[in-house]
Amino acid sequence: MRRRGGDGDSGDSGDIGDIGRAERRHGTARHGRARRWWPPWLRSLLLAPLLSCAAVPFLIRLFPSLLTKFVYLNFLAFPFFVDFRRPELLVNNTINLYLTTEPGVTVGIWHTVPSSKGAEAQGKEQRWYEEALADAHPVIIYLHGNGGTRAASHRVQFLKTMGAADFHILALDYRGYGDSTGRPSESGFTTDVLALYDWVKARSGNSSVLFWGHSLGTGIATNAARKLQEERGVQVDAVVLESPYTNIRDAAANIPITKIYRQFPGFEYLILDSMARAGMFFSSDENVKVLDCPLLILHAEDDGVLPPKLGHKLYETALKAYKDKSKVKFVTFPQKLGLGHDYISFNPELPALVKDFLNMK
């Protein structure tokens, strides 16, 4: 779920919706003028995209796996031409590593250390970075949204902002994204995240470890946190959800790209119901009911991709289910800050807000 025209990030889902709208404008303009001077071949040319646009929902119903491509957008591997082995070209105090999360699946990860260790980190190998994880600074496992890789500009900004605030951050590309192998799937993402969690816990001593999800990644964060709890009785130290949704069906019903289809009667049957048929649930609204850890939900009022009402609904659900209500917090960012869907990590007040929530100095 990406907003249109994020700086340097191309080809997002918003664009596809806009093409659809442009098509409709052509469609209505056609009548009046076509009779006068539009040659038939031009009319066919304009009609073709219109028809294929209308065919999309039927194709999705027939082949639900098509829908996973639209949701994951992992084939849009922007920014292009990034050398994942050299993160230092984009962000300081960072090393690249690979982790095999299950036989045949290896994911790429960037580890940024707290900037107070920046001088010491110069020229160090992976081993030094691993040992640094036990330095008592909190560790964020960062779960990015759909489309693009860990090198996308707003994700790099997250590493900079939270690294400067003395967090460790481990940002992975799930299977099928970036230079990671494998194919994307909801349960596969959870496997990747829990493998990274175990890897971190084996090295992080008493440091707290939190899941931070953005956009699509918020559902991945709650899936992983829930599985930890249900299968091992372990609560992650905190979960932060940035620009979240309640579940993927609700998300699809609200994102701009589906706007043109929403007015048609078959929308629910053709598109929304296909989410489950394609094996995509990302049920944060169910997952939060199982959690007990501190839960922070962040949403910008001007989020043009996932409306803040979804974040609010998720907050209400969690608040109702939590025994200790003080563990759940919802923070909105006013429209005038212009943070939208992707740029909450550009807000200089974010680290203080997070530390305050986690009761840190």
Ligand X SMILES: *[C@@H]1O[C@H](CO)[C@@H](O)[C@H](O)[C@H]1NC(C)=O
Active site residues: 215, 303, 341
Minimum Å distance from CB 91 to ligand X?
Answer: 6
CA atoms within 13 A on the CB side of 312: 8
Smallest separation (angstroms) from ligand X to the CB of 87? 9
Is residue 222 within 8 Å of 292, Cβ to Cβ? Answer: no
Stretch that binds ligand X, among 84-92, 175-183, 276-284, 331-339 (CB under 6 A): 84-92
Q: Which residue, chain included where needed, has tokens 């048929």?
A: 277
User: Where do the H-state alpha helices sit in 153-239?
Assistant: 153-164, 186-201, 216-232
Q: Least CB distance from residue 345 to ligand X, whole Å?
A: 15
According to DSSP, residue 3 is labeled: -
Contact at 8 Å (CB) between 173 and 180? Answer: yes
Contact letters (x/-) for ligand X, 139-158, by CB under 6 A? --------------------
The residue from 206, 263, 326, 359 that contacts ligand X (CB under 6 A) is 206
**Binding status of residue 55 toward ligand X by CB under 6 A:** no
For β-strands 94-102 and 105-112, DSSP reports them as antiparallel
92 binds ligand X (CB under 6 A): yes
Per-residue tokens: 323: 């025994």
Neighbour-count burial of 242, counting CB atoms closer than 10 A to its CB (0-12 exposed, 13-18 middle, 19+ buried):
buried
Relative to beta strand 168-172, strand 105-112 is antiparallel
Q: Toward ligand X, which CB reaches closer, 121 or 339?
A: 121
Q: Which of 67, 82, 90, 260 binds ligand X (CB under 6 A)?
A: 90
Q: How far is the CB of 333 from ligand X (least distance, A)?
A: 25
Look-up: residue for tokens 């997070």? 354
Tell whether residue 115 is a contact of ligand X (CB under 6 A). no
**CB of 26 within 8 A of CB of 44?**
no
According to DSSP, residue 78 is labeled P
Indicate the residue among 115 and 347 with the shorter CB distance to ligand X.
115
Q: Which is nearer to ligand X, 207 or 317 (CB)?
A: 207
- Residue 91 binding ligand X, by CB under 6 A: yes
Q: Does 205 bind ligand X (CB under 6 A)?
A: yes
**90 versus 296: smaller Cβ distance to ligand X:** 90
Question: Is residue 229 within 8 Å of residue 260, measured between CB atoms?
Answer: no
The region that residue 335 occupies, defined by phi over 0 for left and psi between -120 and 50 for alpha, beta otherwise, is alpha
Q: Which is nearer to ligand X, 205 or 279 (CB)?
A: 205
Give 181's contacts (C-beta < 8 A, 6+ positions apart). 104, 105, 106, 107, 175
Quote the least distance from Cβ 348 to ligand X, whole Å. Answer: 16
Alpha-carbon separation of residue 167 from 124, 136, 193 (angstroms):
18, 10, 18
Using CB under 6 A as the binding rule, whether residue 266 contacts ligand X is answered as no
Judged by CB under 6 A, the stretch of 21-29, 90-98, 170-178, 348-356 that binds ligand X is 90-98
Contact window for ligand X (CB under 6 A) among 49-57, 85-93, 161-169, 284-292: 85-93
> Which among 134, 90, 87, 98 has a CA at the least distance from the CA of 114?
134
Report the residue number, 11 or 118, with the smaller CB distance to ligand X: 118
Residue 55 or 134 with smaller CB distance to ligand X: 134
Binding of ligand X by 119 (CB under 6 A): no
One residue of 22, 51, 62, 134 binding ligand X per CB under 6 A: 134
Token duo for residue 101:
């999360």
Only one of the segments 56-64, 89-97, 216-224, 272-280 lies at the binding site for ligand X (rule: CB under 6 A); that segment is 89-97
* Interacting residues with ligand X (CB under 6 A): 90-92, 134, 205-206
